[in-house]
Amino acid sequence: MQLCELSLQGFRNYEKMEFTAQPGVNLIVGDNAQGKTNLLEAIVYLGSGRSFRTQKSSELVRFGADFADISGKIHSQERIQTLRAVIFPAARPRQLYRNGVKKKSASDLSGVLNTVLFCPEDLMVLKTGAAARRKLGDCAMCQMRPNYDAALAEYTRLLEQKNRILKDRFENPALLEILPEYNQRLCQVGALIISYRARFYESLGKAASAYHGQFSGGAEEFSLHYHTVSTIKDPMADVGVLTENLREHMQAHARAELESGSCLTGPHRDDFDVRLDGLSVKQFGSQGQTRTAAISLKLAQRELMRRELGEEPVLLLDDVLSELDPGRQDFVLNQITSGQVFITCCEIGRFTKLGQTIQIRKGQIVSTDSACI
Ligand code: ATP
Ligand code: MG
């Protein structure tokens, strides 16, 4: 999988820009706030229809511009394909195109341009809140499984609607009549999500454990544990069983939900934790252990995507290498000998031996230089 050409118009701080990418390493250099992360954001959006920085797509449109246009030529599934996203600043819905054909939803883009993003915040993913860990898993699963993507989108929509019902029911008690319908569908879709997650986390844990073993010279045993709703004893069980388990939990919390006016039960509160030799990284991990485990998780995510899709996803390293000590830097670089990679960094001259350098200033390419590898 390879991004061959990218063109941006009215996206973030880019007025108009295009470039041809190399199959191997593309190094994006520039001072702070020049548009390096914006460029990676455009690549992720092109492939997934999602931004990793904002939920509000209007923020992606350059201030004062009428629209943002991201277009790219990609070599994947053994042919050249095109993707295009046009985003508007106001309420007008965005437009997504795959090979020139307008598509309804982001899940229709699946399989053309898959990406794995790795940024400095990811290094602390095992210490921070559960939302960041859910995002890590969801981001990979949505790209690998269009059905998971669709289920998650439906679940999020239902959850918002249920929360609104729970809040508005004080003013409008008649709303409670439609609540059972929402609950039933939430249990069905929620069960599907849990079933996908259980399988994904099992594979992710195994692959990450192998990387961590290599990294730590086999000194520590890495294990990943998925946590979901407490009535679920076996998340690998049949979806029908999971649906029942969810219903049970929901019923037990029905009163509390009405009192609190918010939805308290379901996989939107899922989490996972990593243990090293049985000790939770979140509670006991040292800085180094936390970072190493996070790197192992990211490399594992890339490996699962490669295995699942049959192609190497495009790797995006946003400022992460400069955050790492030389030993960890080497470990990451040694693992990315294949596939296409975009690496952002501030200092020109650093890592330049790796591949093409694209220098960016104020949303414009000021120079491109293809160094020999
Ligand atoms: P750093 O090295 O600090 O991470 P960076 O090169 O990655 O910097 P970006 O995050 O890509 O920087 O770009 C940030 C710049 O883009 C900011 O100066 C911000 O004001 C500008 N920007 C963000 N959104 C828009 C927008 N919609 N329109 C115009 N400019 C924008
Ligand atoms: Mg940045």
Q: How confident is the model at residue 138 (pLDDT cuts 50, 70, 90)?
A: very high
Q: Indicate if ligand 1 lies below 6 Å from the C-beta of 62.
A: yes
Q: What is the pLDDT of residues 81-126, one digit of tens each?
A: 999 999 999 889 999 999 999 999 888 898 999 999 999 999 999 9
pLDDT at position 84, please? 98
81-90 long-range contacts (CB < 8 A, ≥24 apart) are 81/112, 83/46, 83/47, 83/109, 83/112, 83/113, 84/46, 85/45, 85/46, 85/49, 87/11, 87/57, 87/58, 87/60, 87/61, 88/58, 88/61, 89/58, 89/61, 89/65, 90/58
Q: Indicate if ligand 1 lies below 6 Å from the C-beta of 30.
A: yes
pLDDT at position 324, please? 86
Say which ligand is closest to the CA of 38. 1
Q: How confident is the model at residue 370 (pLDDT cuts 50, 70, 90)?
A: low
Computed over every residue of the chain, the mean pLDDT equals 93
Q: Whose CA is nearest to atom 15 of ligand 1?
A: 33
Judge whether residue 220 has pLDDT over 50: yes
Give the range among 34-38, 260-264, 350-354 with minimum mean pLDDT. Answer: 350-354
| Residue 215 to residue 358: CA distance in whole angstroms | 31
Q: How confident is the model at residue 184 (pLDDT cuts 50, 70, 90)?
A: very high
Judge whether residue 372 has pLDDT over 80: no
Greater confidence (82 vs 352) lies with: 82
Q: Indicate if ligand 1 lies below 6 Å from the C-beta of 72.
A: no
Q: What is the pLDDT of residues 142-159, one digit of tens each?
A: 999 989 999 999 999 999
What number is the average pLDDT over the span 28-45? 96
Q: Indicate if ligand 1 lies below 6 Å from the C-beta of 38.
A: yes
Judge whether residue 358 has pLDDT over 50: yes
**Ligand 1 nearest-atom number relative to CA 62:** 28
pLDDT at position 60, please? 98
**Ligand 1 nearest-atom number relative to CA 360:** 6
Q: Indicate if ligand 1 lies below 6 Å from the C-beta of 35.
A: yes
Q: What is the pLDDT of residues 201-211, one digit of tens each?
A: 999 999 999 99
**Ligand 1 nearest-atom number relative to CA 40:** 11
What number is the average pLDDT over the span 344-371? 83
Q: What is the pLDDT of residues 229-277, one digit of tens each?
A: 999 999 999 999 999 999 999 999 999 999 999 999 999 999 999 999 9
Q: What is the pLDDT of residues 272-301, one digit of tens each?
A: 999 999 999 999 999 999 999 999 999 999
Q: How confident is the model at residue 10 (pLDDT cuts 50, 70, 90)?
A: very high
